[in-house]
Amino acid sequence: MLLQRAPRSTLRNGSGLFKSLFHSTPSARAQLDHTHQFVVVGGGAGGLAVGSWIRRKYGENSLAIIEPADTHYYQPMFTLVGGGAKKMDATARPMASLMPPDAKWVRSSVTEFRPDENYVVTADGQRVGYEYLVVALGLEVKYDGIKGLQPLLEDPQSMVSTNYSPLYASKTFQNIQRFTGGNAIFTMPPLPVKCPGAPQKIMYLAEDYWRKHGVRDETTVTYNTALGVIFGVKKYANSLLKVVEERDIKLNFQRKCVEITKNEAIFENTQEGTIETYKYDFLHASPPQGPLAMMKGQPISDEIGWVDVDKTTLQHRRYPNVFGIGDCTNVPTSKTAAAVAAESAILKTNIAAVVKGLNPSALYDGYTSCPLITGYGKTILAEFDFNANPLETFPFDQGKERRSMYHLKKDVMPELYWEGLLKGLWGGPAIARKIMHLGTRE
């Protein structure tokens, strides 16, 4: 039996259990501003995917989504924006246009979780009650984790940028175009990060651009990563090492960026415990990342601040009517939109089971994907599971650079995101994988 599951006899009454819990605190209930069968915290990919499904399955007025932002961004496209292959406008849509019909949109952020009393508190003081809670808050990009980074990002004249924000991704391509040679440095922070391949994908695009525009011969390209490997899955790491060698890219492991000045980047060599300084003429920085600061100490969080769920069922370990999805959880897989899609399929099955009084039965295998763009028109499609074993969809070797996979990333995946995932209609490629492999793979 999975650790977080309540005993079957306890869960058998289904929603009745949670209704009894919910109605057992009349003093707290009297203070609630409004209540819903389902509350989703977060209007990112995970929140909208599950919320859209909840609305269709459980009807109008069953759902509230708590989200303060007016704009939703398709973040996987930021790399292509930074490389000049897409415009920032293509990544953004009004949040109102994506909200499930008849869902109550609470335009605020959550500041406190009260799972023992089945409600959350928002920044504007609302107490929102629920029977079932889905937490899809994402993570925080910590720009202050590298000293000096933020003012250089904001300076339009600096040659420092990052693709991890819609505010600065366009600046990346502007700087790529302005660059006339010298030292170009790309950084990778310690895990976890959104899409661990993103810090090097922009490097390959920039290197390809400079090669095409006669700047490469005057340029030293360096990738300084805080990790001990170029990628966590051996098959794809081997392919990337070949790319790095063929393109004469300098690769330094266990180099953690700690400070950036106007002309220098300072790294900690975590293996030797020393400090190294690199002069740069172009710098793409990937800031450290982690759980939202407000999540530290919340009753639904682990000691670090991640939502504490079972990695296979995505049900909370202590509160059986609470679920988590996406970057905000402590599920040990790479934090990507592909992982969100696969997790959403698991959540749909398990939420429906719990509502009926059953134990969660669908088990997440850790599937995630990272389309590793290695140049304009070239991509290695990495797909893998919890154990870093390849879990490939197509019946050919995905460890090779392919134009078809580039167009999948650039042209097909955005449509799957907007028209499939966010509407709760796309749960990842598991079915397609079985078909393409004639049923030989799960």
Task: List, by residue number, the catalytic residues.
Answer: 195, 370
Lookup result for tokens 């907007």: 418
Q: How far apart are the first and last CA of the chain?
A: 22
Amino acid at 166: P
CA distance 437 to 432: 8
Q: How far apart are CA 115 and CA 18, in angstroms?
A: 11
| C-alpha separations of 340 from 92, 188, 214, 244 in Å | 19, 22, 40, 30
Short-list 287, 289, 288, CA closest to 139: 289
Residues counted in the chain: 442
Question: What does the DSSP assignment read for 325-346?
Answer: -GGGB--SS-B-HHHHHHHHHH
DSSP character string of 285-317: ----EES-GGGTT-TTB-SSSSB-B-TTT-BBS
DSSP state of 248: T
CB 25 within 8 A of CB 117: yes
Provide the token pair at 59.
């009807």
Angle made by CA atoms 135, 344, 324, in degrees to the nearest 5: 20
Q: What angle do CA 411, 416, 417 make, to 5 degrees?
A: 100
Task: Give how far Cα 283 sits from Cα of 183, 222, 377, Å.
Answer: 8, 10, 23
3-state secondary structure of 220: strand
One DSSP character per residue, 4-28 reads TPPPHHHHTTTHHHHHHHHHT-HHH
CA distance 81 to 89: 9
* Closest alpha carbon to 175 in 217, 134, 203, 138: 203
Residue 356 CA from chain centroid, whole number: 30
Find all residues with CB under 8 Å of 127, minimum gap 6, and list them. 31, 32, 33, 119, 120, 121
Under 8 Å between Cβ of 314 and 337:
no
